[in-house]
Amino acid sequence: MHTVHLSQPLNLHHTLNSGQVFRWQNLNGTWEGIVRGEFIRLFENEGTHCTCDENFLTWYFRLDDDLDLIISAIDKDRHMHKAITALYGLRLIRQDPWECLISFICSSFNNVPRIRQIVETLCRTFGRPLPSHRGYEFPSPEALADAPLDVLRTCGLGYRDVYVQKTAQAVADGFALHDLRTMPYQEAKKALLQLPGVGQKVADCVLLFSLDNLEAFPCDTHIKACITQLYSPSVDAGTFGRQYFGPYAGYANHYLFHYHRSNRTW
DNA sequence: GTCCAGGTTAGCC
DNA sequence: GGCTAACATGGA
């Protein structure tokens, strides 16, 4: 465990607890997670302490984004101002696209604790155990592609078992997730929408949380409520969000989402 | 028992 | 293209 003094704001609690990633656990102040097959431990106390190197922190927590610049770009009204003030240090994460894709297929018509439970069960059932015995890797596309439906079902997936299996088969057969990183927003989204279990909202989550598309604006029930109540009752939330907030609409989206979901008042 | 949760899909018009 | 019912699961 060593100390890193970051030049960028980072609030671990807001960031890891905001529903963009599902495998981190807070054990009395210390965050534990498994990223790309590596067990990682983090906590904040006059600097960020971690069992990883600074390059990992920079990559994973997008410290290459100038958060203050981004915040000033999206600080356009009193609603947004409340959210960014209350959640200062909330950052988007640059997570693995494959894990992100499957996690958000599991997220549809579901709640966060259960998403976490399903993802963890998938890892325990189909993922490689870490050499340190501290948990399991996220399963490979091949592992989920070859998984029998009834075993997937026992992981708690419900009717989503087919979505996970077919999407895993598509990725195992060569669907190039990483290529989407360099595509324009509409084109990358169109490609993702081909995958079973991936609709407008899940596609935007994958683009935003794992493929560097900061203009993606995922529209779930919380965001739709925010847009209709606070901004305009009759617009398409996604179109409005991207146009109104601009190139960093995705950051605005996640601040609104987490503020609304954590049951704070506007 | 009823309701709800980061939606997607198939089947209609 | 837009609209709607159906969809497993577990916790409140």
Residue A141 corresponds to which tokens in the numbers above?
């596309």
Instruction: Name the closest nucleotide to A199, judged by C1' and CA.
Output: B8
The protein footprint on chain B, as nucleotides within 7 A of a CB, is 4-9
CA atom of A10 to C1′ atom of B7, Å = 31
The answer to whether some atom of strand B lies closer than 7 Å to the beta carbon of A117 is no
The answer to whether the beta carbon of residue A110 comes closer than 7 angstroms to any atom of strand C is yes
Helix (H, G, I), strand (E, B) or coil at A208: helix
A114 touches strand B (CB under 7 A): yes
**A109 beta carbon < 7 A from strand C?**
yes
- Whole-angstrom Cα distance, residue A234 to residue A47? 45
- The string of pLDDT tens digits covering residues A152-196 is 999 999 999 999 999 999 999 999 999 999 999 999 999 999 999
Query: Catalytic: which of A76, A189, A201, A224?
Result: A201
pLDDT band for A23, please (50, 70, 90 cuts): very high
E-strand stretches of A28-162: 30-35, 38-44, 48-50
Averaged pLDDT, A199-203: 98
Q: How far is the CA of A2 from the C1' of B7 (A)?
A: 42
Q: Which two tokens stand for residue A197?
A: 């279990």
CA/C1' separation A224–C10 (Å): 25
A184 exposure class (CB count in 10 Å sphere: 0-12, 13-18, 19+): exposed
What is the pLDDT at residue A2? 87
Asked whether residue A202's C-beta has any atom of DNA/RNA strand B within 7 A, the reply is: yes
Distance CA A158 to C1' B7 in A: 14
Give the pLDDT of residue A263: 78
A203 is near strand B: CB distance < 7 Å: yes
Beta-carbon contacts of A118 under 8 Å, excluding residues fewer than 6 positions away, are A106, A110, A155, A156, A157
pLDDT at residue A27 tops 90: yes
Protein-to-nucleotide distance from the CA of A79 to the C1' of C4, whole angstroms = 33
Residues 35-74 of chain A within 7 A of strand B, judged by CB, are: none
Give A1's pLDDT tier (boundaries 50, 70, 90): confident
Confidence of residue A266 (pLDDT cuts 50, 70, 90): confident
Compute the CA torsion angle A84, A88, A92, A93 (nearest 10 deg): -160
Q: Give residue numbers, 204 to 243 of A, with CB < 7 Å from strand B.
A: 205, 218, 220-223
What type of residue is A137?
E
Q: How far is the CA of A205 from the C1' of C4 (A)?
A: 25
- Return the ∠ at Cα A57 (arms to A205 and A43), rounded to 5°: 100
Domains (range + CATH), chain A: 2-86 (3.30.310.260), 97-210 (1.10.340.30)
What pLDDT, on a 0 to 100 scale, did the predictor assign at position A264? Answer: 77
Q: Are A155 and A125 in contact (CB under 8 A)?
A: yes
To the query of whether residue A76 is one of the catalytic residues in this protein, the response is: no
DSSP annotation of A229: I
Comparing C-alpha atoms, which of A95, A86, A132, A70 is closest to residue A20? A95
pLDDT class of A200 with cuts at 50, 70, 90: very high
Q: Which tens digit of pLDDT belongs to each residue from A120-153?
A: 999 999 999 999 999 999 999 999 999 999 999 9
Question: Taking residues A234-249, what's their average pLDDT?
Answer: 97
List protein-proximal bases of chain C (any atom < 7 A from a CB): 7-11
